[in-house]
Each structure stands twice: as C-alpha cells, then as structure tokens.
Amino acid sequence: MSTPYRLVMTTCDSKDNAKHIAAHLVLNKLAACVNILPQLESIYMWQGEVTQSDEFKLLIKTKSALVNEVIEVIQTEHSYDVPEVQVIEITNGAQQYFNWMEEVLN
C-alpha cells in the first residue's frame, strides 16, 4: 500500500531555529505536525574536515503534493548553508491519522 503522505527530515543547530521552521510549516498548512527530537550529536564532513555538532532533528509530516514547498521553507528559513533534507514515502499507517492530516492540511 502506498499513501499520498511523506515524512520530511532535517536537522537544526538550535532549538530556536527548529521551532521557527516547525511553526512556519504548521501555521502555513504545509505540515500537519512537526516533532522536534531533543539534542543529538552529529558527526559529518564539512569543508574537508570532520565536524561534530549538537543538533535537533525535525520529523515533518506532510502530503506528497506539499513536499517541494516544505523543502523551500527549510532552505529559506534554515540557519545552515546546506541543510539536510530527506523525504521518506509513508507506505502504510493508521487511516484515522491520515484523515486528521487531511483535515489539518486543507
């Protein structure tokens, strides 16, 4: 089973930036819900060096038709030059939750 819903993930360097992006998406009906996972540690390559930083993970629940707008908001409102954006297809789930998403996003 496939659904018209997606999970978009990104990370932010501060809780304030994470909350700003989350509120923007929800207020503009681009996301039904955004979870902000507490501080996590990321290790990655940046400008030729191994970098370690504390980040906050956003799990953004949206419709596939809104993904490009969600990505645009992340790229515009994010504090990073190159923000992480990953989109995962939601293949199955609780129909009641999907019904709620439809209500919220219309």
Domain that holds residue 76: 5-105
Domain count, the chain: 1
Q: Residue 55 is inside which H or E element, if any?
A: strand 49-63
96-100: long-range pairs with CB below 8 Å, 24+: 98/3, 98/5, 100/32
Confidence band for 2, pLDDT divided at 50, 70 and 90? confident
- Which helix (H) or strand (E) covers residue 27, if one does? helix 15-27
How much is the pTM? 0.94
Domain of residue 82, CATH code: 3.30.70.120
**pLDDT tens-digit series, residues 83-106:** 999 999 999 999 999 999 999 998
pLDDT of 42 reads 95
Q: What's the pLDDT tens digit per position in 10-66? A: 999 999 999 999 999 999 999 999 999 998 999 999 999 999 999 999 999 999 999
The residue among 97, 102, 106, 89 whose CA lies nearest residue 2 is 89
Question: Which residues lie across from 12 on neighbouring strands?
Answer: 56
